[in-house]
Amino acid sequence: MEVKLVQNLDEISILRIAEIHKLNYPDDHLTSHFTLPLLCDYYSNIAELSDYSIVAYYGNEIVGFAFLGRTFESVLPRLVKNNKNKIFNFALQKPAIVFKFFLNKAFSGVYHLDSASNIRLISITSDRKYSKLRIGTTIVAKLEELQAQYKLDVGLSVRASNIKAVNFYIKNGYILEGFSKGKLFMVNKNA
Ligand SMILES: CC(C)(COP(=O)(O)OP(=O)(O)OC[C@H]1O[C@@H](n2cnc3c(N)ncnc32)[C@H](O)[C@@H]1OP(=O)(O)O)[C@@H](O)C(=O)NCCC(=O)NCCS
């Protein structure tokens, strides 16, 4: 397996990334309920906004990925703005999930975290079909190379209910910076 920094992701790669997300993300994430076309748009946005796109290949097949960026707050607003029809259809198909998402947003207030990070990690994901390859650990090793090279202190948020991911981050040296509304905020400082 090889983990690479990729400059441009073509449509086929984005589709494969969306498929891996759909099959491997926990159910309590809004995005795991997106249709594949909507997830492709979601990842096209992420790829455009990311400073570093990291992709794991097993032969020619994509088996995992992660994105580092400084402007990911605009991923969902951009997705909604540019895909009104798909979002509207999604809301019609999954009204309870969308209602719960907006209810949480409306009543959650704003959490201000004085983070030690200077870049965010989103969507690190591996295809569990290849769990023997230790894809997540290998992606983190690549992130650490980038962190050392570009002086990156990586921050992330993860649901406390996502026990596998939380333990994975702890095992890989991420430390807790804050907690709010079921989410942990963690950081890994460049060594
Ligand atoms: C979180 C995630 C990226 C971790 O990637 P992964 O490929 O499962 O990670 P690895 O296989 O490298 O390691 C995971 C675990 O398996 C263990 N493991 C795997 N293969 C192993 C081997 N050959 N020998 C020993 N341990 C092994 C690791 O030590 C680690 O242990 P743990 O289960 O006690 O935590 C992955 O589980 C995932 O895609 N989750 C869904 C998406 C998600 O929730 N992303 C995070 C959003 S915030």
Could you read off the pLDDT of 93-122 as tens digits, one per residue?
A: 888 887 777 777 666 666 788 899 999 999
- Which residues in the chain show pLDDT less than 50? none
Nearest CA to ligand 1 atom 7: 136
pLDDT score of 122: 94
Put simply, whether the predicted model's pTM sits higher than 0.85 gets the answer: yes
CA-CA distance, 84 to 82, in Å (whole number)? 6
**Is the shortest distance between the CB of 167 and ligand 1 below 6 Å?**
yes
Nearest CA to ligand 1 atom 33: 164
185 alpha carbon to ligand 1 midpoint, in Å? 19
**Which residues partner with 156 through β-bridges?**
186
pLDDT score of 86: 87
Domain ranges of the chain: 2-151
73 alpha carbon to ligand 1 midpoint, in Å? 26
**Is the shortest distance between the CB of 66 and ligand 1 below 6 Å?**
no
Residue pair 108/181 in contact (Cβ under 8 Å)? The answer is yes
Residues 2-151, CATH architecture: 3-Layer(aba) Sandwich (3.40)
pLDDT score of 166: 98
CA-CA distance, 135 to 3, in Å (whole number)? 9
Strands lying side by side in the sheet with 119-126: 2-6, 52-58, 61-69, 119-126, 154-159, 183-188, 175-180
pLDDT score of 107: 66
pLDDT score of 85: 87
CA-based nearest residue to 45, from 56, 31, 58, 57 = 31
